[in-house]
Amino acid sequence: MNLLEIRPSYEAALRGPRINPEIATRWLVAFLRDELIERRGIRRAVVGLSGGVDSAVTASLCARALGAENVYAFRLPYATSSPASLADAQLVVDALGINCRTIEITAAVDGYLQFEPDADARRRGNVMARTRMLVLFDQSAKLDALPIGTGNKTERLLGYFTWHADDTPPLNPLGDLFKTQVWELARFLGVPTPLIDKAPSADLEANQTDEGDLGITYARADAILDQLLLGYADAQLIERGFDSSDVALVRRRVDSTHWKRHLPTTAMLTNTAINEFYLRPVDF
Residue closer to another protein (CB basis): 5 or 38? 38
Q: Least distance in Å: CB of 22 to another protein?
A: 8
- Judged by CB under 8 A, which stretch of 12-20, 46-54, 208-216, 249-257 contacts another protein? 12-20
Q: Least distance in Å: CB of 281 to another protein?
A: 5
CB distance 210 to 200 below 8 Å: yes
CB distance 149 to 123 below 8 Å: no
Is residue 167 a contact residue for another protein (CB under 8 A)?
Answer: no
Residue closer to another protein (CB basis): 115 or 284? 284
State the CB neighbour count (10 A cutoff) for residue 96: 23
3-state helix, strand, coil in the chain (%, to 5): 50, 5, 40
- For another protein, the binding residues in 170-209 under the rule CB under 8 A are 181
Residue closer to another protein (CB basis): 114 or 272? 272
Neighbour-count burial for 225-245, b at 16+ CB within 10 Å, e otherwise: bbbbeeebeeeebeebebeee
When binding is defined by CB under 8 A, the residue of 9, 10, 15, 18 that contacts another protein is 18
Closest residue by Cα to residue 25 from 186, 146, 219, 180: 186
State the CB neighbour count (10 A cutoff) for residue 152: 30
Is residue 35 a contact residue for another protein (CB under 8 A)?
Answer: yes
Is residue 41 a contact residue for another protein (CB under 8 A)?
Answer: no
- Contact residues toward another protein (CB under 8 A) are 17-20, 22-24, 26-27, 30-31, 34-35, 38-39, 181, 277-284
